């Protein structure tokens, strides 16, 4: 691409061929030691029964046994020495968790952005400044704070509910066991495994965390819609509702679909928030794939199984990436046509 | 919401509320009717309550002087006492570690990981953005693959890799550096340094995902810098090294800063690897301490102290976010992951 002086000698030619690789060298040296090598190592140990006993000598350990695909089989079909874990249930719960989050965050975010975009609303700037607050607070803090809010005895949620109930003349004290209860409020909702009360608590907390980001994105997109489109629609006699559905929504779509896909991937792998809020409990009912993978390494110390599990997660992640990418691309071409 | 093309007069309140002008604040036009204004204000206030509820709750908790758990809902502080903050700053955990050490560990990890990954990434990002070469596609996919992997996916092999680097005092008085040298067969010495159980090891492990992120993020930005400046420079006789150091790098400086702070926001909260790797209390980070305050052994921690800690952990990230809000949102939405 660079325009070179006319006299090209053999030496500079060679230099130009190797120059890109010279620029890539530092990054790839580092990556090969701490990223690519571990990735390969991971695949190797996923075929072994690597455990604490092998920590000292690693792959040279005499006790280390290659057991083929046994780890993978045990993860998917059962047989792991782990309680309350069924792969299919956790996978479906994880997908359900990500989908329901996005399905709530995106419409709420768009509606609130639209609400704040109405011409002539008072205190618009103040509201916008307040509504961005959840975005700036780290998820680990959000998770711990909401964990306290949902505490059975002293938590703010039960106290707020008690306050509301007493407002209606009742003197009951609400004692919902938000994060500990096993009995699902709606047993039939997810056929692969019931959703405990903790799921709803996490939905509430993550709703608080999630919609402001969507509002932020939607506000930016709303402000880039040309005013002339509305004027033209006005002249054609379209009502405000018609304008919303046929001008605002289609023009928001190119911005909101990537944001929704980003939100989906983020919720699907929302490690910090889930780990800090419930730790996957009660009895792994709110466990997602990444928190279980972490439990395999950190507490159960089944390194071989954890390696296999990470390989499985990797394929799930690739599948999700390909699907979301395809959806995003499809809507892009829709926006251009 | 129903589609309607009739005049708004005889509709119920909901349709009337939904029938407002959503086209933005620019331009002139009729004023918003009062009942609609009040309706919107009511909704906005309800949303404000939803947003402020946990924030007010945690601030109120942190400003109370007693560690007694609240028996009824309080969203506004009755007293303003900084006792909890003072206690957290002097003795944050049950372990004999002071706050400064925790802060130093968190800052050291997040800042060094951000800086090192940036410095190593910048030339690679430039190569991907500007040069055409044979293996470009293959190498770019290689950088992209670790980004697809959730952070936890690499934690097992990184744990094992870091764990294999140890300094051991062997019985004979010799120091062995595993895995390169070992004590005599059968003899077990005292481990004096384990890379896995150190901040250095955690930092190196964190770079394994920080580096691909930095390369990708910077490449996306360098793609948008117009090539004309560089072409002009090379016509004037600058070789590509000079072009990179004297033209591209100064131009990319703002984006380098944004990438650094984006990384900082993430690494400040980094919990997964430190919690897996570190065992010595003097290596703990703020995120780990916060977790310790809510985990299963946290029943003895007064809630005002927990609240104070939560605010302290959130503050640096919140400040960086507020300053860089625009860049962060555009960086996340526009062209975040494009080939």
- Please state the domain extents for chain B: 32-81, 89-152+201-333
Q: A6 pLDDT exceeds 70?
A: no
Whether the Cβ atoms of residue A51 and residue A304 lie closer than 8 Å to each other: yes
Highest mean pLDDT among A96-105, A219-228, B68-77, B297-306: A96-105
Highest mean pLDDT among A194-208, A317-331, B65-79, B187-201: A194-208
Ramachandran bin of B31, using left for φ above 0, alpha for ψ from -120 to 50, beta for the remaining angles: beta
What is the C-alpha separation between A72 and A121, in angstroms, rounded? 57
Instruction: Give chain B's end-to-end CA distance (angstroms, integer).
Output: 39
The mean per-residue pLDDT over the stretch A273-277 comes to 91
Nearest to A34 among B128, B156, B205 (CB): B205
Compute CA B253 distance to the chain's CA centroid, rounded to the nearest angstrom: 20
Confidence band, pLDDT 50/70/90 cuts, at residue A189: confident
What is the C-alpha separation between B56 and B158, in angstroms, rounded? 40
Confidence band, pLDDT 50/70/90 cuts, at residue A2: low
Residue of chain A whose Cα is closest to the Cα of B212:
A31
Whether the Cβ atoms of residue B236 and residue B142 lie closer than 8 Å to each other: no
Compute CA B328 distance to the chain's CA centroid, rounded to the nearest angstrom: 12
Q: A4 pLDDT exceeds 50?
A: yes
Contacts with B, A 285-324, CB within 8 Å: 289-291, 293-294, 296-298, 303, 306-307, 310, 313-314, 317-318, 321
Beta-carbon separation of B31 and A121 below 8 A: no
Whether the Cβ atoms of residue B338 and residue B220 lie closer than 8 Å to each other: yes
Contacts with A, B 133-172, CB within 8 Å: 133, 136, 139, 142-143, 145-146, 148-161, 163-164
- B265 shares contact with chain A (CB less than 8 Å): yes
Of the candidate ranges A33-37, A181-185, B200-204, the one whose mean pLDDT is the lowest:
A181-185
What is the C-alpha separation between A203 and A197, in angstroms, rounded? 10
**Which residue carries 């507490």 as its tokens?**
A299
State residue A84's pLDDT score. 85
Q: A43 pLDDT exceeds 50?
A: yes
- B179 shares contact with chain A (CB less than 8 Å): yes
- A65 shares contact with chain B (CB less than 8 Å): no
The per-residue b/e assignment along A201-234, b for 16 or more CB within 10 angstroms, e otherwise, is: bbbbbbbbbbbbbbbbbbbbbbeebeeeebeebe
The residue that leads in pLDDT, B51 or A255, is B51
- Smallest CA–CA distance, residue B96 to chain A, in Å, is 23
Whether the Cβ atoms of residue A274 and residue B291 lie closer than 8 Å to each other: no
State residue A332's pLDDT score. 64
For residue B10, report the phi and psi dihedrals to the nearest 5 degrees. Answer: -95, 25
Whether the Cβ atoms of residue A96 and residue A190 lie closer than 8 Å to each other: yes
- Smallest CA–CA distance, residue A20 to chain B, in Å, is 5
- Please state the domain extents for chain A: 43-79+302-337, 85-287
B286-B288-B290-B294 Cα dihedral, nearest 10 degrees = -170
What is the interface size between A and B, counted as CB pairs within 8 Å?
334
- B24 shares contact with chain A (CB less than 8 Å): yes
- The string of DSSP letters for B182-240 reads -PSTT---EEEEEGGGSHHHHHHHHHHHHHHHHHHHHHHHHTTS-SHHHHHHHHTT--H
Q: Which fold has domain B89-152+201-333?
A: MetI-like fold (1.10.3720)
Could you list the pLDDT tens digit for every one of the 339 residues in chain B? 444 444 444 445 555 555 555 555 444 445 778 888 999 999 999 999 999 999 999 998 889 887 777 777 778 888 888 888 888 888 777 777 889 999 999 999 999 999 999 999 999 999 999 888 888 999 999 999 888 888 888 998 999 889 888 888 887 777 878 777 777 766 677 788 888 899 999 999 999 989 999 999 888 888 888 888 888 888 888 888 888 888 888 888 888 888 888 889 889 989 999 999 999 888 999 999 888 887 665 667 788 888 899 999 999 998 888 888 777 666 555 433 332
The CATH class given to the A85-287 domain equals: mainly alpha
Contacts with A, B 299-328, CB within 8 Å: 303, 306-307, 310, 313-314, 317-318, 321-322, 325
- Smallest CA–CA distance, residue B259 to chain A, in Å, is 16
């Amino acid at each position: 691409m660079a325009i070179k002086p006319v006299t090209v000698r053999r030496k500079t030619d060679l230099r130009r061929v190797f120059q890109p690789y010279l620029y890539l060298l530092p990054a790839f040296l580092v990556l090969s030691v701490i990223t690519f090598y571990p990735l390969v190592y991971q695949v190797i140990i996923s075929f072994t029964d690597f455990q604490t006993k092998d920590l000292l000598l690693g792959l040279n350990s005499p006790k280390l046994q290659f057991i083929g695909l046994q780890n993978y089989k045990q993860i998917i079909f059962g047989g792991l020495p782990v309680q309350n874990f069924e792969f299919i249930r956790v996978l479906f719960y994880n997908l359900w968790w990500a989908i329901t989050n996005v399905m709530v965050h995106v419409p709420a975010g768009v509606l609130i952005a639209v609400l704040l975009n109405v011409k002539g609303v008072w205190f618009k700037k103040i509201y916008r400044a307040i509504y961005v607050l959840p975005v700036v607070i780290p998820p680990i803090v959000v998770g711990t704070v909401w964990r306290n809010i949902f505490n059975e005895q002293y938590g703010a949620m039960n106290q707020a509910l008690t306050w509301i109930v007493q407002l209606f003349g009742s003197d009951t004290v609400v004692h919902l066991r938000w994060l500990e209860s096993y009995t699902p409020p709606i047993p039939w909702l997810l056929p692969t495994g019931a959703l405990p009360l903790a799921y709803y608590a996490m939905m509430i907390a993550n709703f608080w965390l999630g919609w402001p980001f969507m509002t932020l994105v939607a506000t930016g997109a709303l402000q880039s819609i040309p005013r002339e489109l509305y004027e033209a629609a006005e002249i054609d006699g379209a009502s405000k509702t018609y304008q919303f559905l046929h001008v605002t929504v289609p023009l928001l779509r190119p911005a909101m679909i990537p944001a929704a896909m980003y939100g989906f991937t983020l919720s699907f792998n929302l490690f910090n928030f889930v780990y800090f809020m419930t730790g996957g409990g009660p009895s792994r009912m709110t466990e997602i794939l990444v928190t279980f993978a972490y439990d395999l390494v950190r507490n159960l110390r089944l390194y071989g199984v954890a390696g296999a599990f990470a390989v499985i997660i990797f394929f799930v992640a690739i599948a999700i990436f390909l699907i979301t990418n395809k959806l995003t691309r499809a809507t892009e071409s829709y926006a251009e046509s | 919401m129903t589609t309607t093309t009739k005049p708004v007069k005889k509709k119920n309140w909901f349709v009337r509320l939904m029938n407002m002008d959503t086209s933005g604040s620019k331009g002139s036009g009729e004023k918003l009717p009062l009942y609609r204004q009040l309706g919107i204000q009511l909704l906005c206030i309800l949303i404000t309550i939803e947003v402020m509820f946990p924030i007010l709750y945690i601030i109120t908790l942190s400003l109370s002087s007693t560690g007694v758990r609240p028996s009824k809902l309080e969203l506004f502080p009755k007293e303003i006492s900084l006792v909890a903050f003072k206690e957290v700053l002097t003795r944050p955990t049950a372990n004999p570690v002071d706050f400064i050490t925790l802060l130093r560990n968190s800052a050291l990890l997040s800042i060094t990981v951000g800086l090192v990954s940036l410095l190593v990434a910048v030339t690679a990002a430039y190569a991907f953005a500007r040069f055409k070469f044979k293996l470009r596609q293959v190498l770019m996919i290689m950088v992209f693959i670790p980004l697809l992997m959730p952070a936890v996916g690499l934690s097992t092999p990184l744990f094992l890799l870091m764990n294999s680097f140890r300094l051991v005092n062997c019985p004979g008085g010799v120091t062995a550096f595993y895995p390169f040298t070992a004590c005599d067969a059968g003899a077990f010495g005292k481990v004096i340094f384990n890379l896995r159980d150190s901040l250095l090891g955690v930092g190196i492990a964190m770079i394994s995902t920080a580096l691909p992120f930095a390369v990708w993020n910077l490449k996306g930005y360098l793609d948008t810098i117009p090539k004309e400046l560089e072409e002009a420079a090379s016509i004037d006789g600058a070789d590509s090294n000079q072009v990179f150091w004297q033209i591209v790098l100064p131009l990319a400086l703002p984006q380098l800063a944004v990438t650094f702070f984006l990384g900082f926001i993430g690494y400040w909260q980094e919990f997964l690897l430190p919690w897996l790797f570190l065992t010595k209390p003097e290596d703990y980070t703020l995120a780990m301490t916060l977790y310790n305050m809510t985990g299963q052994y946290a029943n003895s921690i007064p809630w005002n102290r927990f609240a104070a800690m939560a605010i302290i952990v959130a503050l640096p990230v919140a400040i960086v976010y507020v300053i860089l809000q625009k860049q962060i949102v555009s960086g996340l939405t526009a062209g975040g992951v494009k080939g």
